[in-house]
Amino acid sequence: MDDKGKLVSIQKEVNLNEVDNPYSRIGLFRAVAKVIREDTMESVNIHSKKVYPRTSFYTKYGKRILDIIISSIAILVAFPVNLLIGIITFFDVGYPIFFRQERLGKDGKVFTITKFRNMTNEKDKNGDLLPAEQRVTKFGYYVRKTSLDELLNFWSILKGDMSVIGPRPLEPVYNDRYSERHKMRMAVRPGLECPILYETKQKITWYRQFENDIYYVENVSLILDLKMAVSLVKMVFNKERNSIRGASARGGFVGYTLGGDTISSHRVPAKYVEKALELLADSETCN
């Protein structure tokens, strides 16, 4: 084991963004997620409760009709705002002004979301993009804080890739990290947000978010959507609630503990980081 591995091993938990390693940051994240999956996933799946998605006339037809009506109106109303944001974005981060990224949709189907760019392309010494929180511009931070970056998602809602209310769609790389229970958050169309209905000053962990998504899948109804829509509006105008739900504040989701809790990239048990570094070293040697 090299000096960096020894340094990691004497710590209980490690923030992956702070690990000084000669490999790519993305490579380290994926190696850590792989190590954790191999160690805990089987146990987590065995002890997880089965999910029973709710089906009704509303889930089959009513929700989609409302999505079409709401998204059509929102696109028309938001057009001047989007035009202004596009112009400012051009002078803020340059061309292209749009950011496109694949996300996981209903039943795990991959679709592409489009947003205005709000980050620079600054890279670290390994040529990897710096963490998002280090690349967001001042205007980009404002757009994120006010949720104006979500306005273009109404096009995805109109197309049928998303819904107004539903679990937030994550990148395809997360698919192998979900337990069988939490994969069921994709039993419905993803949405702009699936708010936790009660107020909290605590950070929204990945586990709490995923369990809230599962609750939604099992209880979706017009009444629940209306309650969450009200909570979503409150969230947009509540600076504190916006900040505690941000992924950049809690780190990326990299797996589960043996007890079934989620592990954030900001607090990874050192043993997994140590093993991941060894795997990356072995892989580099073989190449």
Evaluate if residue 276 carries a pLDDT over 60. Answer: yes
What is the pLDDT, as a whole number, of residue 198?
Answer: 76
pLDDT tens-place string over residues 125-164: 666 666 666 777 888 888 887 778 889 999 999 999 999 9
Mean pLDDT check: name the lowest of 52-56, 105-109, 138-142, 188-192: 138-142
Amino acid 64: pLDDT = 97
DSSP 3-state of 196: coil
Q: What is the pLDDT of residue 135?
A: 78
Query: Which residue type sits at 90?
Result: F
Q: Residue 286: its pLDDT value, please? A: 64
Start-to-end CA span in the chain (Å): 19
Asked if 112 and 100 count as a contact pair (C-beta separation under 8 A), the reply is yes
Whole-model pTM: value is 0.85
**Cα separation of 248 and 193, whole Å?**
16
Taking CA atoms, 91 is separated from 83, 97, 130, 133, in Å, by 13, 9, 21, 20
- The pLDDT assigned to 148 comes to 85
Asked if the model's pLDDT at residue 10 lies above 60, the reply is: no
141-173 as b/e: b if 16+ CB within 10 A: eebbeebbbbbbbbbbbbeebbbbbbbbbbeee
CA distance 61 to 235: 27
Residue (of 139, 141, 192, 131) closest to 164 by Cα position: 192
* Best mean pLDDT range from 18-27, 48-57, 248-257: 48-57
Mean pLDDT (whole number) for 260-279: 93
pLDDT at 29 over 80: yes
Whether the per-residue pLDDT at 249 is higher than 80: the answer is: no
Cis amide prior to 96 (ω within 30 degrees): yes
- Check pLDDT > 90 for residue 250: no
User: What type of residue sits at position 168?
Assistant: R
